[in-house]
Amino acid sequence: MAGIDEAGRGALAGPVVAAAVVLPPDFDDPDLADSKRVPRGKRELLAARLREVATWSLGVVSPHDIDELNILRATHRAMRAAAAALDPPPDFLLIDGLPVPGLDWPARFVVGGDAVCASIAAASVIAKVARDEMMAQYDDPFPQYGFAQNRGYGTRAHREALLAYGPCEIHRRSFGPVARSMMPRLDV
């Protein structure tokens, strides 16, 4: 049984990343929780431990594909890809959120599942840390946006950089703040 969750759905830049995680039967860690509730340092340590002891995989959908599909379909694609990449394949999926169409496995969908299911919480942590690592790598080619700090989310500084420099190649052009940053300005 694999838990699946995503990270980066609400960001203005970068991919959406889903993780699928099968925990060992004896896994127990009091810090395991929804990634948003685990402080960054603990989350990174927890992800490292999970990567060592669990069976896990990622599904990653690019900003370009997010713009082509929309964020919901892109998230579903990332979740299906994460499940398909598990080796051995899962027998059953526990997925955070609402139903995901096109799955090749039986599944149960649990709204708020990262707060009540260990394997979904583990997927939340691995997806979040993996995506954070990807976004930190984008800081070198695009330092003006502060991706190492904001991870592509719409912080004030990030939105100001969008207005000053326009979007870069990893921005999601279909998202409102990014689309608005590309509109011609009328000086009145």
**Residue-wise pLDDT tens digits, 9-36:** 999 999 999 999 999 999 999 889 888 8
Taking only the tens place, the pLDDT of each residue in 128-148 is 999 999 999 999 999 999 999
Residues 43 and 77 in one domain: yes
Q: What is the pTM of this model?
A: 0.94
Helix boundaries (H) for the chain = 40-53, 63-69, 71-85, 118-137, 147-150, 156-165, 176-181
In a domain, residue 188? The reply is: no
pLDDT at 35: 87
Residue 177: phi and psi, rounded to 5, are: -60, -35
pLDDT at residue 11, rounded to an integer: 98
**Spacing of C-alpha 113 from chain mean position:** 15
CATH code for the domain of 103: 3.30.420.10
Are 82 and 160 within one domain?
Answer: no
Total domains present in the chain: 2
